[in-house]
A and B are shown apart, each in its own frame.
Chain A
Amino acid sequence: MANGEVLGTTRIVEAGPPEQRWNAVIVSEGYRSDEMAQFATDARQFADTLLSVAPFDRLRAAINIYRIDVTSTESGAKDPKKCNGTGAKPRTYFDASFCSNGIRRLLIANNGRVVKVVSKQVPQWHMAFLAVNSPVSGGSGGPVATFSRAPGAVEIAIHEMGHTAFGLADEYEYYSGCATDKGHDKHSKSEPSQPNITTNKNRATTKWRSLIQPATPVPTTSNANCANCDPQPSPVAVGTIGLFEGADYYHCGIYRPEFDCRMRNLNRPFCAVCQQVIVKKLTPFLPG
């Protein structure tokens, strides 16, 4: 028996017919029926935040955002004690739980069920978000970007959207941490398919060559000690596009386009290369 019900769908940002626009959907999880007004507020805030992020702020005319109201029998998400959680086990529609794979902040729901509901409610959806009614910090990626109500958790959803909707790679240069990594010294020679990382340090042929100014050194940074992350600060001005060594979970042999980016750290803007990818993907959705 389902722990709640699907109430319906509301388009909260209207840009045009769904078959012609890029459609983002935000679904509620762990909100009781008497908490749906809170979800409406949370969804609105999420939409406002998303549309204030570059380059989405300039692509508003391409984007519809829908809210799917799904009630849960009880409020919150499972928070197992084995991860030092509260032990709460609320009955919720999508079974969201912290502590997936023993990791406290890994908040995962039944994404298969989310995909079914979203596909039925908004058949033209491109990106789905699941807002989980919990103050505990957490989230996850995959077909559905999941995030809690903890301050700043929306950032998780936007980073994950970079992966899911635009095929962007992670730009951080370590796996579990700079000090704890083993086997992450040097990237393989294989060129990654993602558009925002490269092994190619040839200025004339590298992926984002058209955005590199002739005066910018290439590579722009090199890691002197591949056994660790590169500790040097950026030698160039913020926003300079070049080849910065370290990305894709490796300290060396792989380059990112800017010193920092939302695909490297939360609470940063998308770098120019990531923005270009997003713009290219969303341009066909702009009104003709």
Chain B
Amino acid sequence: MVARKSARKSKARKAAKKISKARKAPAKAKASKTSPVSNKAVRLTFSYDGDDVKLLSQQRTEMTVPPSDAVKGYGKYKGFWAELRSASDKPLYRTVMHNPTKNDAEVFPESPGEGISRQPAPKRKGVFVVVVPDTDKGEDVILCRSTPATKGPARGIRALASEPAEEIRRFKLKK
């Protein structure tokens, strides 16, 4: 009993330390194992008009790329992300994004006490940008997105992504 209590206390101390770390200075956390920090990058600019996504440009730049999100898993995840893939279609880099092609928009309150909300914005079109490491192994960039619900009360104009994401477009990187 005493041993169990002591183990609980030790667990609590460890968790408290982690929270404190998360709130305090970043120290020099190691980059994720799956995160190639590169100083060479490709910036891809896309346009979208409804569901139609086109690649407008690829720009090679000397810059540091933020570390990758986990490259494994995500098979059943919903959302929107971009991946850098190798010639054998292995994911090399992934960046999770707030879906830039949404058919709604965030609306902000005028006074501080009110909440943020969303409103349908079916005519949205525009651009978005993805930056990936420029590596010898990188061949393609793919975009993955969940399809909005087609059934239920939130279908149609207010539809939100509810199902696991699927590859929607693939683009060859210029060598």
- In the complex, how many angstroms separate the beta carbon of A119 from the nearest chain B beta carbon? 6
CA distance in complex: A21, B64 (Å): 7
Query: Does B140 count as interface, using CB distance less than 8 angstroms?
Result: no
Query: Which residues on the A side are within 8 Å of B115 (C-beta)?
Result: 172, 174, 177, 265
B63 x A124 contact (CB < 8 A): yes
B11 x A194 contact (CB < 8 A): no
Chain B binding surface, main DSSP class: loop
Query: Which residues on the B side are within 8 Å of A265 (C-beta)?
Result: 115-116
User: Which of A55, A105, A153, A163 meets B98, CB within 8 Å?
Assistant: A163
Sorting the interface of chain A by its residue count into under 10, 10 to 19, 20 to 34 or 35 or more gives 35 or more
Query: Which residues on the B side are within 8 Å of A175 (C-beta)?
Result: 117-118, 154, 158, 160
- With an 8 Å Cβ cutoff, the count of chain B residues facing the other chain is 77
B78 x A193 contact (CB < 8 A): yes
- In the complex, how many angstroms separate the beta carbon of B35 from the nearest chain A beta carbon? 8
Query: Does B171 count as interface, using CB distance less than 8 angstroms?
Result: no
Query: Which residues on the B side are within 8 Å of A283 (C-beta)?
Result: 26, 28-29, 31, 67
Closest A residue, CB atoms, query B23: A272
Produce 1/0 per residue, B12-44, CB < 8 A to A: 100110110011111011011001010100010
Query: Does B81 count as interface, using CB distance less than 8 angstroms?
Result: yes
B127 x A167 contact (CB < 8 A): no
CA distance in complex: A23, B32 (Å): 21
User: Which of A126, A156, A191, A276 meets B108, CB within 8 Å?
Assistant: A156
CA distance in complex: A148, B45 (Å): 25
- In the complex, how many angstroms separate the beta carbon of B117 from the nearest chain A beta carbon? 5
Query: Does B96 count as interface, using CB distance less than 8 angstroms?
Result: yes
Given contacts A101-B119, A249-B160, contact A143 B127 (CB under 8 A): yes
Q: Tell me the A212-226 residues at the B interface (CB within 8 Å).
A: 212-215
- In the complex, how many angstroms separate the beta carbon of B48 from the nearest chain A beta carbon? 10
Query: Does B174 count as interface, using CB distance less than 8 angstroms?
Result: no
Q: A167-B81, A266-B108 are in contact. List 6 more A-B contacts (CB 8 A).
A: A20-B39, A54-B23, A141-B106, A170-B106, A175-B160, A279-B22
What are 9 A-B pairs at a CB distance below 8 A? Answer: A101-B121, A126-B63, A168-B98, A175-B160, A193-B96, A215-B12, A249-B118, A284-B31, A284-B35
Interface residues of A (CB under 8 A from B): 18-23, 54-55, 58-59, 100-101, 103, 105-106, 111-112, 115, 119, 123-124, 126, 137-143, 150, 152-153, 155-156, 159-160, 163-165, 167-170, 172, 174-177, 182-184, 187-188, 190-195, 210-215, 239, 241, 249, 265-267, 272-273, 275-276, 279-286
